[in-house]
Structure 1
Amino acid sequence: MSFGSGHPLAYPSSVTIGALAICLAWAPFGDLDQVAALATVALGIIGYSSYRIAVALGFLAFWPSGSARTVGVSRIRQQHRLLSRSWLEISGTGRPRWLPVYFDPALMTMTESRGDLSDRTIYVAGHRLYPCGRVRTTEPPGRLIDNPSRPAPDAPTRTTTASHLRRRLLLDAQSTVAAPFAALLWIYVDGGSFTTFLAATCVAAATALWLSAIRGSDPS
């Protein structure tokens, strides 16, 4: 399944493909144990990505089953350690709930709106948003920043800047700082040469970058 460059799932899908390509590229240089480890990482990436995308596309429910309803929706941005994500704060369901969504440029100019919610899809002002996890009944941890009540005058410029692929990769690359340490741990456990260390570092960095992307990182 492919998505256009402006689709909210295009970035996480591309990063997933890149991480799998890195695992495949290093496979010819490894011994049996190392190839098995690469295969395990690749299978984990494929399995978790498939689950996340299935939820986003509506193949799996993210909300308790029931009839569609109209709800109040506002967007908040979460900053927690190195994590930055977009959430929808949903009202009109008895008590507030929070739903993580993949970054969409429309989120940056979204004010408090009415949305159409079912157990598998959500539309806000006729625009479909894609969940990247299940709904929460408790407030997400970390610093939560509400969208302003009206779009800022420079919102179009900020939206264009936030959507650049290079910016998104640089922001998500913060999580790769632990990759060399993970590689050293692999060398300590399994042994190997400098080539092994280099390969393990690349795979660990690609996996960390992929995890940030598939969880729905927010570059805004």
Structure 2
Amino acid sequence: MSFGSGQPLAYPISVTIGALAVCLAWAPFGDLDQVAGLATVGLGIVGYSGYRMAVAVGVFAFWPSGSARSVGVSRIRQQHRLLSRSWLEISGSGRPRWLPVYFDSALLTLTETRGEVTDRTVHVAGHRLYPAGRIRTTEPPGRLIDNPSRPDPEAPALATTATRLRRRLLLDAQSTVAAPFAALMWIYVDDGDFTTFLAATSVAAATALWLSAIRGSDPS
């Protein structure tokens, strides 16, 4: 499996590495309690990211076990507060189900079609998509936007823009607005100084950015 810049998992993996680098960079400047806090955050990032990636590449099942099945698949984009994600609406296997997936430029041209689902993988029109969370039997919350019934002729240009690293980071950075407030709470608990505030703010911002990416944010 290739993990080049165009690979759907390249972005969440890169942001995970960046968040860990921020934690590691501040470790030499902290006392024992602060280093322990950084280590806890780092272990949480590693553990949750490892689980998400394991589900995405098929190590863990996300669908009830059984043979591959042909199902109806359509893509919807979810807008809920500051969250934007891509979901596959899956029909033809009993009641409809919804599966979050990591953003792939192929989603922009996806119309309602047939796909093949196993308990560990999803293939639509011969293209593999990567699960970004647990499958749901209820509709995701928030505003749901269906893909057009016909391919959008502007999709290739949009795909080029949407997959740019700078754009994705700027969109996911919306979730970092609470970072200074989290830092103030840490200073209150730890009785820290301005350096502690800077460290806590950057770690909280990096963690919020990572959480958006690892959950499968949609930049389109």
Paired position in structure 2 for 1:160: 160
Q: Map residues 110-129 of structure 1 onto 2, 5 A cutoff.
A: 110-129=110-129
Paired position in structure 2 for 1:19: 19
Structure 2 CA distance for aligned equivalents of residues 72 and 191 of structure 1? 56
Q: CA deviation at 1:67?
A: 1.2
Q: Map residues 54-203 of structure 1 onto 2, 5 A cutoff.
A: 54-203=54-203
Paired position in structure 2 for 1:217: 217
One-letter code of the match for 2:96?
P
SS at match of 1:56: helix
How many percent of aligned residue pairs carry the same amino acid? 84
Q: CA deviation at 1:66?
A: 1.2
Structure 1 CA distance for aligned equivalents of residues 84 and 22 of structure 2? 25
Deviations 1:90-137 (A, max 9, x none): 000011000000000000010011101000001000000000111100
Q: CA deviation at 1:3?
A: 1.3
Structure 2 CA distance for aligned equivalents of residues 154 and 123 of structure 1? 24
Structure 2 alignment gaps of length 5 or more: none
Structure 1 CA distance for aligned equivalents of residues 190 and 64 of structure 2? 45
Structure 1 alignment gaps of length 5 or more: none
Structure 1 CA distance for aligned equivalents of residues 155 and 108 of structure 2? 7
One-letter code of the match for 1:113?
T
Structure 2 CA distance for aligned equivalents of residues 158 and 46 of structure 1? 32
Q: CA deviation at 1:156?
A: 1.0
Contact in 2 for aligned 1:2/1:10 (Cα 8 Å): no
Q: CA deviation at 1:145?
A: 0.1
Structure 2 CA distance for aligned equivalents of residues 70 and 39 of structure 1? 44
TM-score under structure 2 length normalisation: 0.99
Q: For the aligned residues, what is the CA RMSD? A: 0.9
Aligned length: 220
